[in-house]
Amino acid sequence: MKNALPVNESQLINAPLLFFIVNACQIGVGIHGFQRLIYQDAKQDAWISILISFVFAHFLIFIMIKTLEMFPSNDLYGIHEEIFGKLIGNIFNCIYIFYYSFAFLVNIKNYIEVINVWVFPNLSSTFLGASLLIVVIYAFNGGFRVIAGICFFSFIFTLWVPSILFIPMKYSDINQLLPVFDNPIKDILKGAYSMTFTIIGFEIINVVYPYVKEKNKVQKYAHLSLLATLILYLAIMLITLTYFSGPQLEKTIWATLNLFSIIKFPFIERVEIITICLWMIIILPNLCLFAWSAHRGVIRMFNISAKKFIWIFSSIILICMLFIKSRTQINSINDIFSQFGFIIVFVYPLFIYLIALIKKSLLKRKRTN
């Protein structure tokens, strides 16, 4: 492909690692409090909304990979140039660069807010942001394989979450899930839409694809990763619905952290604080992958090294964080990002797939004639 950027063979990964990359990119700050948003729309049928959202995600990742298979050596940035030409293609690329940068900002800011509220209320958010960015810069400079390795360890760190959350089940009432399908399908679908902020991340496949050695196994491991994420989110939602009453859940911003707060051990009194601190290892691959994806788009337009990019990128993010202070502002950017993310992740892949099919069909006819 004429628009494909060269991929260093030393940076290629085996297909099974894709399972950990997609999973790591989906599990982030959204897991702390996604339950309230979905419950506001779908009530006790919120777990059905999660199932619906993941059915759509499976369909879309199938479409994304089918699009990528038409251009085996290219990522989405190169496909844009291939289909629309250099000028228009770069406009679409800028939108995607902005999307990944926005995702980075939203994730890091939400995590900092959790630390400020639950662990260090008097610690400067700017200091926390700068500290996290230094860790991201260090990991980013290791290259793509290092980021993939962090994704693997991130997955290992999430394995204990479902098991420890089963402890609150002894206080749960399964009758709170009844009656099933009591809410209008419109509200259940609204709940699925409200899952957007939490579920997005699997679109990372659009940028990672050229780095996978066994292209024929990409579908398999991408779908397995989505299934693993579904099991985690569904388990957390079911436990939440049976533990909290409806009015309680509607007032609880971070329901998952509240579930952790009731767990007590003789040697650890506040489990949620340990959880939040350990969550940095889970958030780190999120941030690294979003920054790396933005970098893949930027180098198509500017001759800039990875080291220069990550320092400039981090500086811009830190400046942006200075203007986002209150919970209201954070909620506003979360809402804007959810709406923007829905278009980028759930709508645009269908559009680009159809355009790619038409382009391929026209080229095929031209060759035969």
Above pLDDT 90, what percent of the chain?
80
Which domains does the chain possess? 9-368 (1.20.1740.10)
Where residue 201 falls (left for φ over 0; alpha for ψ -120 to 50; beta otherwise) is left
Above pLDDT 70, what percent of the chain?
99
Report the 10 Å Cβ neighbour count for 358: 11
Is pLDDT of 302 > 70?
Answer: yes
- Phi then psi for 212, rounded to 5 degrees? -90, 130
> What string of H, E and C letters represents the secondary structure of 119-130?
CCCCCCHHHHHH
Could you give the C-alpha distances from 120 to 123, 128, 154, in angstroms and in order? 5, 10, 23
Tens of pLDDT, residue by residue over 43-88, are 999 999 999 999 999 999 999 999 999 988 899 999 999 999 999 9
Instruction: Report pLDDT for 216.
Output: 93
Instruction: Report pLDDT for 60.
Output: 96
Report the 10 Å Cβ neighbour count for 236: 21
Query: Rounded mean pLDDT of 12-19?
Result: 95
Secondary structure percentages of the chain, helix, strand, coil, to 5 = 80, 0, 20
- Round to whole Å and give the CA distance between 158 and 140: 21
**Are 246 and 97 within 8 A, CB to CB?**
no
Go through the chain and tell me how many residues it has. 369
pLDDT, greater one: 166 or 208 = 208
Both tokens of 82, joined, read: 């291939």
- Round to whole Å and give the CA distance between 83 and 74: 12
- Round to whole Å and give the CA distance between 62 and 164: 33
Query: Rounded mean pLDDT of 18-36?
Result: 93
Query: Rounded mean pLDDT of 241-248?
Result: 94
| Bridge partner residues of 212 (DSSP) | 13
- Round to whole Å and give the CA distance between 87 and 72: 22
Query: Rounded mean pLDDT of 228-251?
Result: 94
Question: DSSP alpha helices (H): ranges in 244-347?
Answer: 246-250, 255-261, 271-298, 306-322, 327-342
Instruction: Report pLDDT for 278.
Output: 85
Both tokens of 46, joined, read: 């919120």
Is pLDDT of 351 > 90?
Answer: yes
- Round to whole Å and give the CA distance between 346 and 200: 9
Tens of pLDDT, residue by residue over 308-348, are 999 999 999 999 999 998 989 999 999 999 999 999 999 99
| Bridge partner residues of 13 (DSSP) | 212
Q: Which residues of 132-162 are buried (b: 16+ CB within 10 A; e: fewer)?
A: bbeebbebbeeebeebbbbbbebbeebeebe
Mean pLDDT (the chain, rounded)? 92
Tens of pLDDT, residue by residue over 169-219, are 888 999 999 999 999 999 999 999 999 999 999 999 999 999 999 999 999
- Round to whole Å and give the CA distance between 256 and 190: 21
**Burial category of 263 from C-beta neighbours within 10 Å (exposed 0-12, middle 13-18, buried 19 and up):** middle
Least-confidence region, from 65-69, 153-157, 348-352 = 153-157
Is pLDDT of 163 > 80?
Answer: no
Is pLDDT of 1 > 60?
Answer: no
Is pLDDT of 159 > 60?
Answer: yes
Instruction: Report pLDDT for 369.
Output: 67
**Are 259 and 31 within 8 A, CB to CB?**
no
Which pLDDT band holds residue 5 (cuts at 50, 70, 90)?
A: confident
**Burial category of 359 from C-beta neighbours within 10 Å (exposed 0-12, middle 13-18, buried 19 and up):** middle
The amino acid present at 62, given as its one-letter code, is: F
Is pLDDT of 161 > 80?
Answer: no
